[in-house]
Amino acid sequence: MNIISLNQLKWLSTGLILFGILLTNLNYYPLNIFSHGLGAIGWSVAGYITKDKALLTNFGLQLPLFAIGYYNYFLIA
């Protein structure tokens, strides 16, 4: 039994990424990295499920960048 369908995951992830971009433009740190980061995780999972290398490349490479942001927020600041 699936909790969420692949299509729902993609739309939820898209919404989180767009919301994260909006928060970045409004300068709401760190909420922006949490929202956008969750969207990137969702799209990475979708890319893994569908074996889409372009999605994995795009969003998978964003994850370390968000990890740096989390590190800076929780351990440096």
Check whether 1 has a pLDDT greater than 60: no
| pLDDT confidence tier of residue 69, bands split at 50, 70 and 90 | confident
pLDDT 10s digits, 12-46: 999 999 999 999 999 998 899 999 999 999 999 99
User: What percent of the chain stands above pLDDT 90?
Assistant: 81
pLDDT the model gives residue 77: 62
Q: 66-69: list long-range contacts, CB under 8 Å, 24+ apart.
A: 66/33, 66/36, 66/37, 66/40, 69/30, 69/33, 69/37
